[in-house]
Each structure stands twice: as C-alpha cells, then as structure tokens.
Amino acid sequence: MASTINKVRPMGAHHQPLCTRTHQIASVFLVVSTFFFTRLFDHSFAPCNLSADQFRTSQDLTQGPVSWPERGYGSLLSLKIYVYDEEEIDGLKALMYGRDGKITANACLKGQWGTQVKIHKLLLQSRFRTGKKEDADLFFVPSYVKCVRMMGGLTDKEINQIYVKVLTQMPYFRLSGGRNHIFVFPSGAGAHLFKSWATYINRSIILTPEGDRTDKRDTSAFNTWKDIIIPGNVDDGMTKASNTMVQPLSLSKRKYLANYLGRAQGKLGRLKLIELSKQYPKKLECPELKFTGPDKLGRKEYFEHLGNAKFCLAPRGESSWTLRFYESYFVECIPIILSDQAELPFQNVIDYSQISIKWPSSRIGPQLLEYLESISDEDIGAMLARGRQVRCLWVYASESSPCSAMRGIMWELQRKVRQFHQSAETFWLHNGSMINRDLVEFSKWTVPVPLP
C-alpha cells in the first residue's frame, strides 16, 4: 500500500521522511525553546506601561539600574491610593497652610520639610491615584505641618487638636484603625510633631527620614514593620540630571581628606570632629557655618565645600538622621555615617556597605583619619561609581521615572497593601458587611466617628 501511494504522489513533491521518536523529541524541544525565548523577549521589550515597573534584580549595584527584588510581591506595582482633598475635611487646610491660610506650598518646598509637599504633589499626579475611596488600597493624608510649625502658622497644641479633628472625619480611617492611612513627617522629630500620635496613628504608615527618636522621649515613633524610611530633601539644584549647581571635582584636585559641614549644637560627636580638625587642619575641614550675616555660606558655596573632600562626615545632630548623607552623593563624596542609630531607606535593593562607611561614633579621633587615609583612590572611585547608580533614589521625581525616590516609596507601599483590615472597633457579618460596635453598617456611619 505504501508503494502505491508513493507512485501517485504529484510530480515535483519532495520525499517526506518518516516521523521517528528522535523527530518527536526534537519537536517538543523546539516548542519549549520557542516558548522560553518568546517569554524572554516579551520581558526584554515589554510595553512602556510595564517596563516602568519591571526591572531585573540587581544584586551587584554596578549591573545597571536598581530594581525591586524578585521575591515577596515581586517587581510589578499594583496599588491604588486615595489622596484626601484639602477641601473635603474641615481642618486639613490648616495643617497645610496654617490657621490663617497664609503659608504657601512653595514656601514649604525647600529645606528638610520639603518632602511633605513633594510627595503630596507627586501623588496628585500619580497613575496610582484613585478618586474612589471604595477602590483604594491606601489613603494619603496631606499635611505640611513641619513647615507650618516652623513658620509660626500653628502651635504644638493647635497641631494636636486639628489632627484629632481631621481624623474623626475619616470613616475609612476608623474602619481600618488607621492601618491603611499614610502620613509624612519629614524631620528629626518624626511623628512626635503630632503629640498624640501614639494614641491615634500608631497603626498608620509613617513616611519619615527619622528611624530613631528615643534620645529625648520614652519611645520612638518609628516601627520597622509598618513605617518607611524616606530620603532627605536634597536641594533641587543638585539633583538635576544635567546642569547641576556644582560639578564633582576629580579626586586628585580635592583639598581635604574629609570634611564636616555643620553646626556643633553642643553634640558630642560634632564637637569631637571640630577638635579633630584643629589637630589636623590639612586633613579635616570643619568650618564654622554662618546662616546669617555677611559670612553666610550660600547653597552653591556649601556644595563646593562639601565636594572638596574625598569623604563627607555625617554625625548625628538633634536626631539620628542627617541630610548630609544624601547630599554627599551629588558631589561624589563618600559619606561616613557617625550616627549609630541611623536608619537608611530602601534596604531591599541597596547594599549600603558598598556605597558608604559606618564608623562607631564613640571612636571619632585620629584613628578614623588614619583609616580613611589607608583607602586607595581606586577603591574610592569604585564606591563612587556604585553610588552614582543608586543616588537617583534620593531624587523626588515621578514614580514613572525609571529610578526615583517616589518609585522607591511605591515599592515599599506595595508591601503594605492588605486585602483585609481589622480594627478593635470594627466587626463583620456572614455576608461581609462591616459594622461598628452598635451594629451600624459602614455605609451608614456618620462623622464625627469615634477614633481607635
């Protein structure tokens, strides 16, 4: 029969070999290989809306942009954030512009408290923002309270009273006990700016550069499980991708081994550095900074001084965090952390031992300078190169940027999203209805609502 079929095959047809087991195995291998390489190229050339959220894991900081580790929730951002409007809650405008409404957002953009304004404005523009509370994973409470307090817009007592008043107007805060609400406290005082934080927002997500504030109080407001360390607010003139205020000097042209630019403020570590600079004036620069008068150091001059040393010393001041740590990366100076309790942001993706040095604050002295002198320019250059890879995470730009502080914050917030929120004062029924202690369904709650 086979020979008959072969005889009637059309002219010009090629002879087809029999399908052997070897051919079958090769076919399966071809299908698997095609699937694998298709997936590989799909990830490599993903559409823009995905490529912004998916990066390869960067164990070695020299291997390209920092990326969210492929563990836990992975690198795909998927969250919805509701931003409270200043008009929808009585008292919220006072926390942003003072009791008289005379303080502007622009006036609060600079200085260490600028992150309160920048994060708020960037969230208003974020693609993760939602206008529906019922769809939100997280809720952002805008406040410029640090700036408002410093500019005399509110007293400590007023801040406390207004925060409590604002919270009682938020049913969703009551529903979760505040667990899905985000607050920014941008200074060394952290959440202590709100005196009653421990009563009302101790379960909320706090964004702050300050990880320890136990030196003057009985307890720290920072909790490593729920809160997020954010970078300090570096001057915008230094964080631009091009045309920065000051360009880094080559290592061979730097006048000093190390420097400390800041006030003593009676702090032991800072006083030790000033004394050390008197013993070794050619190695360590510690000028007395003037913030007023004819000898005031301008921002440009400040960064020029900062970049004129190979190492920038960052001792603690009133609290453990210091803006100098972040500033040093933009003049390409290796930061030396002299603050034992300092917490650093985005430790999921950054190995700080590769881009900075942490030295015991109790050992500030000649031994520190001897150690720094022993480090070769080659090693310094390698650390600076790695620092250049990650300093984009100190820049408050949109989370749509491949690398920014907001992208890092979004990564961290993604890990805080919960499917379910439980409060000691909320209850639920068999059909999923949420009720309060009086058996009133959530949709019927009226303000003011009792606080947790």
User: DSSP per residue over 48-116, as a string?
Assistant: HHHHTT-----SSGGGSS----SSTTTT-----EEE--TTTSTTHHHHHH-TTS---TGGGSSSTTHHH
Question: Distance (Å, rounded) from C-alpha 92 to C-alpha 100?
Answer: 12
Q: Tokens for 422?
A: 């439980």
Question: Distance (Å, rounded) from C-alpha 326 to C-alpha 342?
Answer: 13
Burial 154-185 (b: 16+ CB within 10 A, else e): beeebbbbbbbbbbbbbbbbbbbbbbbbbbbb
pLDDT of residue 23: 55
Angle between helices 366-373 and 268-279 (to 10 degrees): 70
pLDDT of residue 16: 44
20 pLDDT band (50/70/90 cuts)? low
Q: What is the DSSP string of 201-240?
A: STTSEEEES-S---SSSSS-S--TTT-EE------HHHHS
Mean pLDDT of all residues in 400-407: 91
Helix locations, 265-340, DSSP H = 268-279, 299-306, 323-327
Compute the half-sphere exposure of residue 225: CA atoms within 13 Å on the CB side of its CA: 4
Q: Evaluate whether 335 touches 329 at the Cβ level (below 8 Å).
A: yes
Mean pLDDT of all residues in 28-51: 40
pLDDT of residue 41: 35
Mean pLDDT of all residues in 127-138: 97
pLDDT of residue 267: 87
Residue 55 has pLDDT above 90, yes or no: no
pLDDT of residue 38: 40
pLDDT of residue 422: 82
Measured between its terminal Cα atoms, the distance across the chain in Å is: 87
Strand 205-208 vs strand 181-184: parallel, antiparallel, or unpaired?
Answer: parallel
Q: Tokens for 380?
A: 């310094």
Q: Tokens for 440?
A: 């009133």
Q: Evaluate whether 276 touches 336 at the Cβ level (below 8 Å).
A: no
Residue 61 has pLDDT above 70, yes or no: no
Compute the half-sphere exposure of residue 449: CA atoms within 13 Å on the CB side of its CA: 28
What is the share, in percent, of the chain residues with pLDDT greater than 70? 83
190 pLDDT band (50/70/90 cuts)? confident
Q: What is the pLDDT of residues 213-266, one digit of tens each?
A: 555 556 788 888 999 999 999 999 999 877 789 999 999 999 999 999 888 888
What is the share, in percent, of the chain residues with pLDDT greater than 90? 65
Higher pLDDT residue, 59 or 76? 76
Residue boundaries of the structural domains of the chain:
20-51, 81-233, 236-395
Q: What is the pLDDT of residues 317-372, one digit of tens each?
A: 888 899 999 999 999 999 999 999 999 999 989 999 999 999 999 999 999 999 99
pLDDT of residue 62: 38
CATH, domain range 236-395: 3.40.50.2000
Helix (H, G, I), strand (E, B) or coil at 393: helix
291 pLDDT band (50/70/90 cuts)? low
Strand 256-259 vs strand 205-208: parallel, antiparallel, or unpaired?
Answer: unpaired
Beta strand ranges found along 243-294 (DSSP E): 256-259, 284-285
Radius of gyration of the chain measured on its C-alpha atoms = 28
* Peptide bond before residue 448 is cis, with ω within 30 degrees of 0: yes
| Residues 6 or more apart whose Cβ sits within 8 Å of residue 145 | 95, 116, 154, 159, 163, 185, 193, 194
